[in-house]
Amino acid sequence: MGRRPFRCYRQSKGKPYPKSRFCRGVPDPKIRIYDAGMKRADVEAFPYCVHLASWEKENVSSEALEAARVAANKYMVKNAGKEAFHLRVRVHPFHVLRINKMLSCAGADRLQTGMRGAFGKPTGVCARVQIGQVLMSIRCKDNHGPVAQEALRRAKFKFPGRQKIIESRNWGFTNFVRDDYLQWRKEGRMQKDGVVARLINHHGPLSERDASTIFATAGKVYQTPVHAE
């Protein structure tokens, strides 16, 4: 018996049903790799970032996530180079899908049990996504921006529903707007932390700080950036 078409499971309703000690025998998700390309590249390496955001509240299967990752990765490797980008799948399939299997072969009319015990057995997993939630992100250099947008456009065809490609104003995968990031970096407030960066504030014991990281004022006040004159 083959897989059901995903239109049977696309609607997101009810409570999440994750794998647990009560829900056993769940098949592994098809997607096992969530980062592709230069995933260990420094935060300074890739300033440009573009997102693929869902524009519907729905379920997205692990098969669709894997197909989209493969499509986007293949286009980026071919047109930008395997060391020119970092792709990240931002949603994880934790919601378990169920199927109430019934015999459908010839002469099975007396063996089917109909609605008896119709809760169903685990058949796959999916991710529950909201409107505006980011599905995939790519960071790269500015000159490869159009290539990254085209890669995500091709990945869109692997998902049900509507998606939008959104060009980020932030520096790479960080939470900081580009202009603020550059200004804070010039002031010495940005501390590299892998693929992201941390803003050094004016709090904390002075004994544990280097002289160059001691500041008299905050870097942000109520989420509003504050820069030195």
**pLDDT in the model for residue 107:** 62
For tokens 């829900």, the residue is: 23
Contact 91, 127 (CB under 8 A): yes
**pLDDT in the model for residue 43:** 94
Q: What is the distance between the alpha carbons of residues 42 and 35, in angstroms, rounded to a whole number?
A: 14
Query: Any residues with CB less than 8 A from the CB of 203 and at least 6 apart, and which?
Result: none
**pLDDT in the model for residue 113:** 65
Q: What is the distance between the alpha carbons of residues 95 and 19, in angstroms, rounded to a whole number?
A: 8
For tokens 């200004």, the residue is: 183
Tokens of 10: 């696309």
Model pTM? 0.89
Write the burial class of residue 40 (CB in 10 Å: 0-12 exposed, 13-18 middle, 19+ buried). Answer: exposed
Q: What is the distance between the alpha carbons of residues 195 and 170, in angstroms, rounded to a whole number?
A: 13
DSSP state of 8: G
pLDDT, block means (10 residues), the chain with 229 residues: 86 94 94 94 95 97 97 96 95 95 68 77 95 97 96 96 96 93 88 89 79 78 78
Q: What is the distance between the alpha carbons of residues 203 and 85, in angstroms, rounded to a whole number?
A: 35
Tokens of 178: 């580009």
Contact 137, 36 (CB under 8 A): no
